[in-house]
Amino acid sequence: MKFTWCLAVLATLLVASNATDPLENIWAVLIAGSNGWYNYRHQSDVSHAYHLLLQHGVLPEKIIVLMYDDIANNPQNPYMGKIYNQPNGTDVYEGVKIDYRGRDVNAETFLNVLKGNATGNSGKGTGRVLKSTREEHVFVYYSDHGGVDVLGMPTGLMSKHDLDQTLNYMYERDMYNKFLFYLEACESGSMFEGLPKIMRIYAITAARHNESSYATYCDNTMHLPCLGDEFSVTWMHDTEIHDILKESVGTQVDDIVKNTKLSHVCQFGDNTIRKDTVSEYQGKESLRKPEVNEEENNKFHSEVVQQAINSRDVQLVMAEKAMRRLGASPEVVSDQMSKYLLKRELLTEFVRRAVHEVTRNSPLSKLVMTKIPQSITQTSCHDKVIKAFDKLCVPFDRNPYAFKLSAPLANLCELTRDPEAIINFFKKECPNGPIFENVL
């Protein structure tokens, strides 16, 4: 009896020891917020990140993956069942355990995962959600399209208002000790403006609030779309070549800032997390690393830049390449590209009309269309407006260019503080559903 009691005490002590060891207790959420062949890179980035965390000792039962999963077995994929994150690299798809795929990948599912709301995700995928505690660290990596105060999803979108509320929920309920968030998206810097240091969250974004991020490996010889994103392959490369048990988060972030050449990496929140080791968020296993050869490292980053394209133009470039590959004449290619650009202008003009009608041709209308706000105060208004815009007139998942127009809609909310007037315009102009489909 005494022996049994001693075993029980020992087991309790071991559990308690593990529960307070940040190297043992890491939760990770990885999400590719897009679908479609031309968005290959987002699922590629996430698949690569999954293997990195696994190799470094993060427990598979504590990694939650949201990925539409329409790339590996896509009819257009010349390497059926495989995904690559670097030219002629290794297959990063094999072995990835996906928790939520297809239409289950949406803002509601993702936010339920973060909030630990298993009931909300009942019947979806594996139903797994964060079960992290005040003693554990959380790492989130999100790769997708974005705009001012908005991130993409395969269906619908997620606003800064949504994310702010969720992060506050997690903080108030002690769902983590410290929280590291890497975000790959255009204008991603807008998503964390005003993040309080007290919340123990350190957020790193691929770009400022007013600039695009960049896709890379777009000129690969594998006849695949862009394989990765500049910011994403840069942070993962840093993890691959350094001993993350010794490298600090601050050192990794500084390296990412230095080596992401085409956009400005931004930092928000609790910068005391910079003193922690990368291993406290990406895994405790000490792996044998290749010696860092400065010449090879510089060559790696040079190739990333040379094969990069503004993320907003990826689909346009892919469409042009496809036509040329099929033997279209220069005149046909030029004509088709002009039509695509005209669609973009028509979409911009639609938003311009909304601005003029709602503001009654105010002298500020031009500023509303051209200014990219660093921060907005009317997040609730913008949340309602951007979701109505997506649902009624312009589905963001089929119109990546629409993310660029999140800025004027945010400005319109700042000026009018009246979401109903803006939404009424959408209802009037789009009575029978979306009027814009597949604006590249």
Q: Which residues contact 411 (CB under 8 A, 6 or more apart)?
A: 367, 368, 369, 371, 373
> Is 145 tagged catalytic?
yes
Selected catalytic residue, list 137, 145, 209, 382: 145
Q: Which residues contact 169 (CB under 8 A, 6 or more apart)?
A: 115
Contact present, 395 and 435 (Cβ < 8 Å): no
Helix ranges (DSSP H) in 61-180: 107-115, 160-172
Q: Which residue has the tokens 């999140």?
A: 406
Selected catalytic residue, list 186, 393, 413, 430: 186
Contact present, 76 and 37 (Cβ < 8 Å): yes
Query: What is the SS3 assignment for 182?
Result: strand
Q: Which residues contact 247 (CB under 8 A, 6 or more apart)?
A: 238, 277, 278
How far apart CA 234 and CA 303 sit, in angstroms, is 11
> Is 186 tagged catalytic?
yes
How far apart CA 219 and CA 230 sit, in angstroms, is 14
Sheet holding 157-159, edge to edge: 146-147, 150-152, 157-159
The residues that are catalytic are 145, 186
